[in-house]
Structure 1
Amino acid sequence: MSRRCAISGKGPLVGNNVSHAKNRTKRRFLPNLRTVRVTLEDGTTRKLKISAKELRTLKKNS
């Protein structure tokens, strides 16, 4: 499964690890994903992978 938010579409970013000697090696910044059960409008529930920020937004709006 992909590391992507089902609502916002956030995915991994690419950057560098930078050592004290300024040596640079590639690294990935992964999104903070949570698996949550969401009740849809038709009454069914589904498991979705959503980012922690979107989870806060859902709780705020409900």
Structure 2
Amino acid sequence: MGEKCPCVVYIPPGIFHGTKNIGNKISVVIGMPSLLYDPENVDERRVNPLDNDIIPYNWNCRME
């Protein structure tokens, strides 16, 4: 996954996910959900990525 290796990633329903650019160039991520968003029937759960007990990842760290 990267500049010379574009790819498609399938994320199953109910799986928390996020993206982080670790390169020096601008990255592009395109989301393609299989269903239109319905605000009357929200089927997602959001958490603060920087402050939660569910996702054990430090989003503030910088890859060198």
Please tell me the TM-score bracket, short chain as reference.
Answer: under 0.3
Task: Pick the structure with more helix per residue.
Answer: 1
For normalisation by structure 2, the TM-score amounts to 0.19
Task: Pick the structure with more strand per residue.
Answer: 1
Larger Rg: 1
